[in-house]
Amino acid sequence: MSSFALGFQEIDKTQLLLVGGKGLNLGELSKIQGIQVPEGFCVTTLGFRKAIEQNETYHALLDRLTMLKVEDRDQIGEISRKIRQIIMEVEIPSDVTCAITQYLSQFGEEHAYAVRSSATAEDLPYASFAGQQDTYLNIIGKEAILRHISKCWASLFTDRAVIYRMQNGFDHNQVYLSVIVQKMVFPQASGILFTADPITSNRKLLSIDASFGLGEALVSGLVSADCYKVQKEEIIEKRIATKKLAIYGRKEGGTETQQIDPDQQKTQTLTEQQILQLARIGRQIEAYFGSPQDIEWCLVDDTFYIVQSRPITVLFPIPEANNQENHVYISVGHQQMMTDPMKPLGLSFWLLTTPAPMRKAGGRLFVDVTQQLASPVMRNNLLNAMGQHDPLMKDALMNIIERNFIKSLPNDNKVPSPIRGNTDKLAQIENNPSIVSELIKRSQTSIEELKQNIQTKSGSELIDFILEDIQELKKILFDPQSSAVFMAAMDASSWINEKMNMWLGEKNTADTLSQSVPNNITSEMGLALLDVADVIRPYPEVIDYLQHVKDDNFLDELVKFKGGQKTREAIIAYLDKYGMRCTGEIDITRTRWSEKPTTLVPMILGNIKNFEPNESNRKFEQGRHDALQKEQELLDRLKQLPDGEQKAKETKRMISIIRNFIGYREYPKYGMINRYFVYKQALLKEAEKLVQAGVIHEKEDIYYLTFEELGEVVRTNKLDYQIISKRKDEYKLYEKLTPPRVITSDGEIIAGEYKRDNLPADAIVGVPVSSGVIEGRARVILNMEDAELEDGDILVTSFTDPSWTPLFVSIKGLVTEVGGLMTHGAVIAREYGLPAVVGVENATKLIKDGQRIRVHGTEGYIEIL
């Protein structure tokens, strides 16, 4: 056995770097009892390396390629072409040729072979590289096979393969190519089998694509294929395509495309029996590899041959359950306005804080709502809450209920609604508007005590102290009085919207009435940054200095300039109050503004450029004026109606509940994030000690441990560092995944739909959350740091959490992909009087940066002008 070639049977799991992803999988497939794999061998990566190791021109060109970026398309094209030419002209070393010849004589040199590329960075769990390198079919004769091996090597440097590696962060120097030489089979039919449905991700639904001739026609998109769906040994769906063409092997080598006889074009490619037999083979292969597979198959004289199997890389992982029953999970990220993955420490803090039945998957959290869906009363509460939060989630859940996926329990009227139980508290709250300032004061006092007490703690004592303090955080966060306050305001908003629509024919009236309310910590944060701009505005030297700031120590440098000391004090005062915020703030590991104050600089400069002095006051007063004017107008109109005095009286009562209490809705989360930051600073001090002791490499490594694991490391000063490396790789994989709103224990992703008539044909639909119609330039912004806004722009982004609020003062409207009536962005948009539509699927792709758009905040859609 030579190290330059290995037969499929000789390949073992450890040899990825020798035979690449495809080769490794063929080696494994050949070992499965009862699975037919055409014979063959791999020319290992050592052969490729030996062929090019002495070639100085090749290495010089490769070095140049490594310096380029994805944008340098022309240079990539030119250098890649030269590298391919060199590889094609290089002579294959004699010992490599010798190894190839040996296998060919063993399998029969006169046979036809498929010659296929297998890169070391291919068919990996997080990057499929599918179709990046070349495949050649029906190659006959040793010379032709050797020539096509060189062609496969060269295909490592096609433009598309090079760019794909750049986009996925693979080093060209570290990716090598093995070549598979496999006996050709000439099938009457072939195709692809997915052991999980690639459209819905349902792991119990198997999907088969089938067409006549070689599979190349299907893979290259030349023909439509039949599609069969199999569930539990039963064919549940068949789509028979019109198959006009097929690719067949030619006697003398190579392939040709042939027309299919018209009376055969609409016949079913596989019989029912063959479909079920193939499905069983698929399940056997999936069980062997332990994950859903994408399998290439051929049918020859009633025998199925498997020519490839790779993991399906696009499936979202299923949240783990503790039994085999059906479960339904909803995304926490879509409710918390943060659909990015969280690091393990962030996940574990969230799990310690919440009483809900949470499950992890793909670096995100999901709530198991199975029990709520089973109980008729709890189900209604859940659907009502989802209707407010995210109508697409509500629609997906309705879909699941209609299918009877979760068995319903007998009616249980005794179960109290956790929130409606607060109505008896409403009277106490209404008569005491100062309750909000009392709740805020209680939270602030508690945080001050925490800051004092935590300073004296370290080591295991710190870990225990934080665990104890989380109980205090939960007491404040889930205080029934606290939730009763903002629930009262939310219920009052719903009441106003419903009654004003019924009595006066006005939609979403509560939006205007919610403008400029007191005690909204988040909207105050946006206005406070306008005040910081006012401090800096008179000092041109400071403004000029801030325009070139790169380093987070810039605050200390400021004092050199006229007005610098005042600027420094203003920014530090702002950070003292709001510096614990950042994008994705529910993940404790995210970098806070206090840790990276340069984040705020572009926003401050934008405020100086876009606004006059005292703008924060003007904005707040304008909103208050509009709200009070609206209130007066509604009361006047109501008094004209039958029973008008009574209607006006009830309405006035509801408006005062909204104005007194809706602002508090943002406070509990602010209190929680405040506490998280105190914990984080203390834990980073511990991490520094671990770095000094050589237990971890950098203090941020603790982010990749759960809180429990971190406690153990602090206690023992020991850690297997491979855990950190593995988690970092997993996190990179999770970043590429898009979390679903709703997923079942079958892995099926259920998508909801908006059901609305009478909208323009090309309307982009979402949830109306803040009234009004506005036209302007769309600014599609995915990272807050990249925001360059002009006054009057409309912000289009995937989601906004409180950290985005300082941008809201510069915009005229808001569009987000995630969100509902009561999520953060919607609340602040209403308070600032910005028309807003949220929950717009794929908004950042459908709307292009710079387009003029019209946002219909009352009706809930966007038009591109």
Residues forming the active site: 824
Q: How far apart are CA 331 and CA 282, in angstroms?
A: 30
CB neighbours of 754 closer than 8 A, spacing ≥ 6?
Answer: 391, 392, 395, 765, 766, 767, 860
Tokens 């107008």, residue? 633
CB neighbours of 455 closer than 8 A, spacing ≥ 6?
Answer: none
Q: Is 667 left (phi over 0), alpha (psi -120 to 50) or beta?
A: alpha
Q: How far apart are CA 395 and CA 379, in angstroms?
A: 13
> DSSP per residue over 691-702, as a string?
HHTTSSSSGGGG
Within 13 Å, how many C-alpha atoms sit on residue 129's CB side? 28
**Number of neighbours of residue 140 by Cβ within 10 angstroms:** 19
Within 13 Å, how many C-alpha atoms sit on residue 564's CB side? 14
> Is residue 285 a contact partner of residue 32, using CB atoms and an 8 Å limit?
yes
Q: How far apart are CA 113 and CA 141, in angstroms?
A: 9
Structure tokens at 265: 């074009």
First to last CA, the chain: 68
Q: How far apart are CA 145 and CA 99, in angstroms?
A: 13
> Is residue 797 a contact partner of residue 816, using CB atoms and an 8 Å limit?
yes
Identity (one letter) of the amino acid at 575? L
> Is residue 597 a contact partner of residue 556, using CB atoms and an 8 Å limit?
no
> Is residue 18 a contact partner of residue 178, using CB atoms and an 8 Å limit?
yes
366 vs 330, 383, 477, CA distance in Å? 5, 16, 20
Torsion, Cα of 848, 853, 857, 858 (10° steps): -130
Strand partners, 685: none
The DSSP bridge pattern shows strands 177-183 and 40-43 to be antiparallel
Tokens 């059901």, residue? 755
49 vs 104, 156, 286, 304, 830, CA distance in Å? 21, 13, 33, 35, 63
636 vs 511, 631, 639, 640, 658, CA distance in Å? 19, 9, 5, 7, 19
Find, among 30, 288, 16, the residue nearest to 129 by Cα: 16
**Share of the chain residues as helix, strand and coil, in percent rounded to the nearest 5:** 50, 15, 35
278 vs 210, 283, 431, CA distance in Å? 11, 9, 71
Q: How far apart are CA 522 and CA 665, in angstroms?
A: 10
- Supply φ then ψ for residue 853, to 5 degrees: -130, 160
> Is residue 462 a contact partner of residue 687, using CB atoms and an 8 Å limit?
no
CB neighbours of 841 closer than 8 A, spacing ≥ 6?
Answer: 392, 766, 817
| CA-only gyration radius of the chain, Å | 32
> DSSP per residue over 262-316, as a string?
GGGTTS-SS-HHHHHHHHHHHHHHHHHHTS-EEEEEEEETTEEEEEEEEE-TTPP
Torsion, Cα of 544, 547, 550, 554 (10° steps): 50
Distance of CA 229 to the CA centre of its chain: 28
- Which spans in 662-772 are helix H? 667-692, 707-716, 722-735
Q: How far apart are CA 825 and CA 802, in angstroms?
A: 7
